[in-house]
Amino acid sequence: MTSLHLAVALDAAGGHPAAWREPSARPADLFTAGYWVDLARTAERGLLDLITIEDSFGLQSGDFRGPDGRNDRVRGRLDGVQLAARVAPATRSIGLVPTAVVTHTEPFHLSKAIATLDYVSRGRAGIRVQVAPRAADGDHVGRRYIADVDPTDPTSGPARELITELFDEAADYVEVLRRLWDSWEDDAEIRDAATGRFIDRDKLHYTDFQGRFFSVKGPSITPRPPQGQPLVAALAHAAPAWADQPIRFAAGHADLVFLTPQDREDADVLVATVRAAGPAAHVFADLVVFLDRPGESGAERKTRLDDLDRAEWVSDALTFTGPATELADLLADWQRTGVTGFRLRPGTLPDDLDLIVGQLVPELQSRGLFRDSYEANTLRGLLGLPRPANRYATVSQGVSV
């Protein structure tokens, strides 16, 4: 069995909505850079491949359709891309994959932000692209009308039309990102003070993208990123109302697909569906984890938090409660379905992240299922992905500047 890949999802005080009330939580630090640096360094100490950082255009809510009106849960976030840029110089090897909403943003702006993150991190940047179907999110921006429909209703024709449009737009968005990252050839910068030539004009290229949603001429203002193409990731929800739109989009346009299977059989089906739908290089399964610790089991901790929240919390991904040895068994078993890695969502932070690093990683290493040291210095390298050739490198006519 080959070594697996591990990612961890960082979101506020953890996945559980009452996690901020844990004695070890740091709610006063959630909006400080130091909090996120500490979490990222812990994940890096565990030799994890990457962290993801959640983001959105609307406040967190337990109701997917819009605000839930609760004031006893964490509300508010720092910008995911800027957090990653702050974490980058404080880490050395771990990949940094913030979330960005592509429904209400421009690909030109995001392309240079992620290219910059790749430079700041020396080749460890990625981006998880996310659509925003809620009308309330669109109202925050005010540049685009989003119909007030229930995106979770599988019987709603307008909802299906909206979801189709948003994923079609996301596909064009990713294509524009990739073209802009390639719009400078790798050796476009000459920097020859003697001749006064800083760039080679013939090695900058128009992207000339014309589509239903975007018209982007290019080139980028940022030279080609160190990885050539920073990693593109997407979460492929298997939601009935969304049909196969998320899976088709992620499989066809992302390098890394996150899935949310509920059991092994579900994982088997979803992996096969992704593989049939597109060329995505990696498929990770998401798992929420509450690990046992001395004096309290993971199940007891989740039950205690459910009581504080006055409801049983259910995630879109399978929730695992138990010892690290049993979680290692599950990961090894699910790996046989064809998943290449796992994104673990700590139920509480920092506790479950500490347990992942202190208990799960050593258990996987003892079984030969996880690395003993970082073997590459870029995110693409950690995931075994080559640096892509520049699509414009063979084009002879460049941009006049």
What is the distance between the alpha carbons of residues 54 and 133, in angstroms, rounded to a whole number? 17
pLDDT beyond 80 at 242:
no
Concatenating the DSSP letter of every residue in 286-306 gives EEEEEE-BTTB-HHHHHHHHH
What pLDDT sits at residue 172? 98
pLDDT in tens, 13-52: 999 999 999 999 999 999 999 999 999 999 999 999 999 9
Predicted confidence (pLDDT) at residue 308 exceeds the cutoff of 70: yes
Residue 241: predicted pLDDT: 63
Query: What pLDDT score was predicted for residue 180?
Result: 98
pLDDT at 57 (0 to 100): 85
Residues 190-227 pLDDT 10s: 998 999 999 999 999 999 999 999 999 999 999 999 99
Do the domain assignments include residue 401?
no
Residue 114: pLDDT over 60: yes
Domain that holds residue 243: 5-382
Q: Would 394 be classed as within a structural domain?
A: no
How confident is residue 401, by pLDDT bands cut at 50, 70 and 90? Answer: very low
pLDDT of residue 160: 85
Say if residue 164's pLDDT is above 70: yes
384: number of CA atoms within 13 Å, CB side? 9
Q: Residue 138 pLDDT more than 90?
A: no
Looking at residue 154, its pLDDT comes to: 67
The 10 Å CB-count burial string (b at 16+, else e) for 305-344 is bbebbeeebeeebbbbbbbbeebbebbeebbebebbbbbb
Alpha carbon distance 75, 71 (integer Å): 8
The pLDDT-based confidence of 256 (bands split at 50, 70, 90) is very high
- What the block records as the tokens of 49 is 């491949």
Which has more confidence, 351 or 242? 351
Residue 336's pLDDT is what? 96
Count of structural domains within the chain: 1
Inside any domain, residue 359:
yes
Model pLDDT, residue 159: 83
CATH number at residue 269: 3.20.20.30
User: Residue 165: what residue type?
Assistant: E
Is residue 400 domain-resident? no
Question: What is the CA angle 303-264-170, rounded to 5?
Answer: 90
Radius of gyration of the chain (CA): 21
pLDDT of residue 400: 44
CA–CA distance, 210 with 215 (Å, rounded to integer): 5
Spatial separation of the C-alpha atoms in residues 134 and 162, rounded to whole Å:
10
Residue 240, pLDDT score? 67
Is residue 395 in a domain? no
Tell me whether residue 389 is in a domain: no
Q: Is residue 393 one of the residues assigned to a domain?
A: no
Reported pTM: 0.95
CA distance 181 to 227: 10
**Does any domain span residue 54?**
yes
Q: Which residues of 24-36 are buried (b: 16+ CB within 10 A; e: fewer)?
A: ebbeeebeeeebb
Per-residue pLDDT for 103 more than 80?
Answer: yes
Across the range 64-93, mean pLDDT stands at 92
